[in-house]
Amino acid sequence: MTKIFISTLLFVCMVFGGAWDQSATAASPTYPPDIQKIKDRGQLIVAMHSIDQIPYLISDPSGKLYGNDVDLAKSIADELKVGITFDRTAKTFNEIVDIVASGTADIGLSTLSRTLARAEKVRFSNPYAVVRPVLVLNRVAAAKLNLGGSLSEMARFSGLIGEPKGNSYIGFAKSVSPKATVVEFDTWDETFNAVTEGRVVATFRDEIGVKNYLNRFPERAVQLSMISIDNPAMVDGLAIAVNSQSLHLLGFINLYLEMKYPTRKADDLMRIYAQHYKK
């Protein structure tokens, strides 16, 4: 009796187990093409700047990447249950946008500011971090021009402003100081050198970028003054760039940010990644 019962039970299990198995195959998720492509590849390709951006993107000597943007990209990949590949060929921020637009990378996640010019090529997620823009002035040049650094003064300012090539702050500078001439440099360091030496009067940059620079060269604060721009309309929202075809991925990322990732501010970022500032 017992034998018969057990064998019946086994049979039932097999039948139903098979049915379960079959039903699972039948309901196998058919993802929208943009997600399917990532699932098939098993990798989320993330475009990032070739130069480290503390505290967003930091590489240690062994080539291991960490930082806020790296962590966020990894957690998105984890939610998609795929691995991650970083594409760090971009020399400028605009190049990151181009890489995403061409479809070489799935997303661009590298302290990207949203600009209208970039939004013509890619779609942007909601901001994952907001940072204030900062006006950096050469103190002596500003004193000679009697320039205090308020927005109304900068609106009338007609001198030279330096910004690095392919940077969103070129547009920002032109919108804040329409009468000024924007001089483009190759890198941020060259831009800051020019302001320090008084070759240009000012530059605009995000507060973390400015703080990082002055952490590296504290003596430059003798020449450079930083004035935070507190106008809420001018806050720089850092967002994730997504290919124009990847509508579903964009929806997924926005929902992820909404549910699991409260928008971070500069102070949060600097606190969370404080150990990198001690170095």
Partner 1 sequence: MKPVTKKQTNFSMQWLKSPVVVLLSMLMGISAGLYFPDFSKSSAMVGETYLKLLQMTIIPILMSAVISSVGKLFASESARASILKIITTSFIFLFLVGALTIVISLLVGPGRYLSEDAKILLGKTLNVADQSGGSHAVASRGTVEFIHAMIPSNIFDDLGRGSILSILFFSLILGVAIGTMGGKNAQSILDVAEGLFEAFFKIVDWSMYLLPFGLFSLLANQLASTGTDTLAAMLRFVLIVWGTSLFVIVVNTAIMCLTLRRSPLVILSAFKQSMLIAFGTSNSIAAIPSAIEALTGEKIKLPASIINLVVPIGVVLNSFSMIIMYIAATVFAAELYDVPLHAPQIVIVILLSVLAAIAGAGAPSIVCISMISIVLLPLGLPAQAIIVLLIAVDPLIDPIGTMTNIHTNVTISALVASGDKNENKGE
Q: Does 222 bind partner 1 (CB under 8 A)?
A: yes
Q: Give least dist CB 122 to partner 1, A.
A: 33
Shortest Cβ 248–partner 1 spacing (Å)? 42
Shortest Å, Cβ 270 to partner 1: 11
Task: Please select the residue that binds partner 1; options are 9, 13, 14, 143, rule is CB under 8 A.
Answer: 143
Smallest gap from residue 60 Cβ to partner 1 (A): 26
Restricting to residues 226-255, name those near partner 1 by CB under 8 A: 226-228
Binding residue (CB under 8 A) for partner 1 from 12, 13, 117, 221: 221
Q: Does 139 bind partner 1 (CB under 8 A)?
A: yes
By CB under 8 A, residue 274 contacts partner 1? no
Binding mask of the shown chain, residues 13 to 52, with x at each position contacting partner 1 by CB under 8 A: ----------------------------------------
Residue 220 in tokens: 């430059």
The residues of the shown chain that bind partner 1, judged by CB under 8 A, are: 139-140, 142-144, 146, 148-149, 211, 214, 217-223, 225-228
